[in-house]
A and B are shown apart, each in its own frame.
Chain A
Amino acid sequence: MSNTALIKEFEAIVGADNVMTSETDRHTYSYDAAVLDSVMPALVVRPTNSEQLGKAVKLCNDNGLPLTVRGAGTNLSGGTIPHPGGVVVLTNGLNRILELNEEDMYAVVEPGVVTAQFAAEAAKRGLFYPPDPGSQTVSTIGGNVAENAGGLRGLKYGVTKDYVMGVDFWDVNGELIHSGSRTVKCVTGYNLAGLMVASEGTLGVFDKIILKLIPPVKAAKSMMAIFPSMKAASETVAAIIANKIVPATLELMDNFTIRTVENFRKAGLPTEAAALLLIEVDGHPAQVEEDAIKVEDICKQNKASEVKVANDAAERDAVWQARRDALPALAKLKPTCVLEDATVPRSKIPAMIEALEEVSKKYNLTIGTFGHAGDGNLHPTILTDKRDKKEWERVEEAVDMIFERALALGGTLSGEHGIGLAKSKFMINETSAGTLAYARRMKSVLDPKGILNPGKIIG
């Protein structure tokens, strides 16, 4: 940034140590976890309290500087890639748990609190925060709310939005906006907290988030069911739900992923199996026993060749280790790993799996598929090398086709990764020209200079 006076102003707000201007520092905030080109910001600032954050936002707006808020930068849709010449506002200096209320079961946190650390802190107080995105050991609550992050427990416990009771945020004028409350019920005014969830930093800058907590689970039982076809496995998913059982997790792995994971861990996975379902039921001990037996029966009725029920903690851990290994194992095969999150209604999973096989053949690409079958959220993972230009073109076309098919099946562009830069061009296909115009009108009023994370979601 050539304007040294402006840098001085930022320094006056957050302190000189918290304003980064060097080429090297700026470069390390030019990307996130999405496979997209990096964009250099002009400046990186790190507020360490609420007041500093509000002033920094106002200063950006006063000077028409594009502003992108960044937590851990684990975003998979480019939502934290800055705008050229813009400012990155880091939230990792805002990482305090302000209140953890055991009596009323809620917490108030700053946006930079790391998800897994927060969940662990809640667990210490005998409470449960269920959302568990794959990046939870580093991702922040602010980012989770901004992207409406999901996770393995989405089927039974819902996703981040189901735990957001309120959000305080700064508007572009530096006014602190309050929304929601510490009460379970609250109908005061517009549901601004709801509006802020999944807004990806385009409507305001989070200052505080009020999160709902629930009592911890008393018992759980895990099992692994082996299937001779993807069709049988995906039909089982539908059958379990149709029998009115909602497992805490219901995960699917295809043969390619099974073989890759087995090659990686040598944990004795059935490499011949066409598909695996990893299932966990939880709740009251008596109910868990009953549900586990029912699920086992349903699996067998739906052609499972074998159902292995974990008898102790070690066996349970082995089941989930296999699932946790899916992405790391796939990621080691090729340099570039495009992890998509096309999502369809549960009943359409067999059709979506077929579509993915078709995409893989048509574009001659290796696709490993695993994911949260229970909530219809699949992770087709394309393995490639982005340096191979010809193959990369095929990857881009394949991604287009995956979204087309997901939408045709009544699905959605993104189950949990967000729209960001990566999928904004597809928005019109899922919504409508009118919807986009409405969203753009709304943003233009709330953010007249267009400084809040420009280019994301609505283009």
Chain B
Amino acid sequence: MVWRKVKEQGFNAMLLVPFFFNQYVLFLATAILVILIAFTSMDSSMHWKFNGIVNFRKALIDPKIGLIMLNTIIFVCMTLLFKVVWGFIIAVTTTYYMENKTVGSWFRTIWLLPRVSPGVVEAMLWTWIFSSSEYGVLNSLMHTLYGSAPVAWLDKYPLLINILLAGVMGSSLSMVILSSAMQSINKSYFYVAKVDGASEWSILRNLIVPFLRWPIMFLVIWQGLALLTSYESILLLTDGGPNSRSETWALYAFHKAFSSLDFGYGSAVSLFILPIVFVVIFLAYRVFGFHKLMNAAK
């Protein structure tokens, strides 16, 4: 009898164990280690030599930091805009404007492809498209159409191309969430609006957008925070270059730790992101009413 009860309740608890282990053991241990390392001069020799706040002061006078901060702001804001707006356009087009559900699903499946293909493959494909040699896809196309000479695209527009790559790769999540939200809107609202003579623009502005407010809010905060700490696609496409023109904060932390083997400084740089994350979460909760989204449905 007791064993049966343990089994009943224990099963649910056991399901949560990996989550708890990750959140409260692995994550916590990693965070504590990173914080401790940030106060050391640990480098390739991996010695724990505590040096106070030297690394943090160093970050503030680092000649690259201004450019890196600007890159990060542009990268996060522009990619976020691209992800959400593009995801919104695909979602609305394929669920509302396309009458045929099968065609809509088919289009959405195509937009899921970047999400399911490995990042390395995606980056290699983009490197080929924007290759500076005459054999690059874009350069061959430009040469065939306009007879243009090869252009070093990744050197000329490194940040813009990174924004496009991250935006295309990430818009599928917005598309999935917003499509689901669109499909859950009661159809009668649209019928009533049309009977009342509302224009398509008015339906979009006064009906669809307000209905999608919460999912959009969730996407902006969730993806914005994720973008602050993401660097993989940039690492693969331009590695932050040329001349740090596509170097973002998280990538700089990675480079300092694993490329220059300056683990202390790399950890300190990474910790600067933490206050930003806390401020964003606070603002989202208090100012933008994010807590209403997190509350149980009434």
User: A and B: real partners?
Assistant: no
Tell me the B residues contacting A by CB distance below 8 Å. Answer: none
